[in-house]
Amino acid sequence: MSKAGALDLASGVGGKIEKDDVLSAVDKYEKYHVHYGGDEKDRKENYTDMVNKYYDLVTSFYEFGWGESFHFAPRWKGESLPESIKRHEHFLALQLGLKPGQKVLDVGCGIGGPLREIARFSSTSVTGLNNNEYQISRGKVLNRVAGVEQTCDFIKADFMKMPFPDNSFDAVYAIEATCHAPDAYGCYSEIYRVLKPGQCFAAYEWCMTDAFDPKNKEHQKIKAEIEIGDGLPDIRLTRQCLEALKKAGFDVVWEKDLAADSPIPWYLPLDKNHFSLSSFRLTAVGRFFTRNMVKVLEYVGLAPNGSQRVQDFLEKAAEGLVEGGRKEIFTPLYFFVARKPNGQTQ
């Protein structure tokens, strides 16, 4: 796990954005979202700018709170959050049937925590696809620290326009990433194109469930909080992901919302009523300390102006995620394995 501390958090806010421009970037990012008058059409049309601003602004907060892997996981009783995250990544590798020496693509790889874990677990070579320069530069540093720079690398590109030839990879996966795409079919079609025939694509998707009622104002509020706090142009229903997979040409091997059977609620680390030493920074007490630390760091000039605003919309996301999980209208653990049929090249 990453050892990012307070000064790492402060120096990282804004990513590749000039520190004097962080506040205006926060303004522009917020205005894409419903809480500030934005709409879905604008978010989808400008998703590259929106998502890049989001990850420049939040990556150091994520690393401070989550470590190197920015995702949730189904969790067993007696299992810590870091343990469940590693098991979650190993489970994905096993479902793909990864074999030593294979070439694997991680779509929307963040700073590469899952990429490094899966590469070491399966003895494969993993390429991380990411359109955010700051996350890539951070990931390369962590690759060198982990000693995996010979088998793990990053490519800067949009996952709606992948710079790879057809049939390039033995397997493709995405962990809570393709939900950032404005169009599921377009993203899945690109994945289909670069995957070798007969091979598999597996993903954990952030989705609204069938319990979501688009006419319910409370449901709408929860959805909007998750979108602003997690850089999403829209959140699709699970069945829309399935439809897009099939339309792209995939055969769906199996699919399931893994949140439904998780012995411990996936959102527990963010629940204000929960306390844990193993994930202290994510708890209400930990977030209180982080919020006040960021306030001080911004006041003394170590963190750029706007840092507190980033913390605020991340707090909104935490509230939306917990409520969405409790009401079972949202899941970050919709899992599927899909195969590209043999003989299909595009």
Among 186, 176, 183, 231, residue whose Cα is nearest residue 206: 176
The per-residue pLDDT for 273 is: 78
Res 101 pLDDT > 80: yes
Classify residue 5 by burial, with Cβ atoms within 10 Å: 0-12, 13-18, 19+: exposed
Q: How confident is the model at residue 287 (pLDDT cuts 50, 70, 90)?
A: confident
Dihedrals φ, ψ of 103, to 5°?
-100, 125
What tens digit of pLDDT does each residue of 70-95 get? 899 999 999 998 999 999 999 999 99
The beta strand positions in 133-220, using DSSP E, are 152-156, 169-175, 195-208
Would you call 176 a catalytic residue per the annotation? yes
Q: How confident is the model at residue 276 (pLDDT cuts 50, 70, 90)?
A: low
Rg (CA), the chain: 19
Which residues have C-beta within 8 Å of that of residue 198, sequence separation ≥ 6? 339, 340, 341, 342
Res 284 pLDDT > 90: no
Domain ranges of the chain: 6-67+275-318, 81-263+327-340
What tens digit of pLDDT does each residue of 301-331 get? 888 899 989 988 888 889 999 999 999 999 9
How far out from the chain centre does Cα 162 lie? 18
Three-state DSSP at 343 gives: coil
What tens digit of pLDDT does each residue of 135-193 get? 999 999 999 999 999 999 999 999 999 999 999 999 999 999 888 889 999 999 999 99
Catalytic, out of 176, 205, 225, 227: 176
Res 294 pLDDT > 90: no
Res 278 pLDDT > 70: no
Q: How confident is the model at residue 36 (pLDDT cuts 50, 70, 90)?
A: confident
- Residue 337 CA to residue 242 CA, distance in Å, equals 11
CA 184, 204, 135 angle in degrees (round to 5)?
85
Percent share of the chain, pLDDT over 90? 70
Output 308 or 118, whichever has higher pLDDT: 118
Min mean pLDDT across 223-232, 254-263, 291-300 is at 291-300
What tens digit of pLDDT does each residue of 50-73 get? 999 999 999 998 888 888 998 999
Place domain 81-263+327-340 in its CATH homologous superfamily.
Answer: Vaccinia Virus protein VP39 (3.40.50.150)
- Contact status, residue 88 vs residue 71, Cβ threshold 8 Å: yes
Res 234 pLDDT > 90: yes
Res 34 pLDDT > 50: yes
Q: Tell me what the mean pLDDT of segment 216-245 comes to.
A: 94
Res 345 pLDDT > 70: no
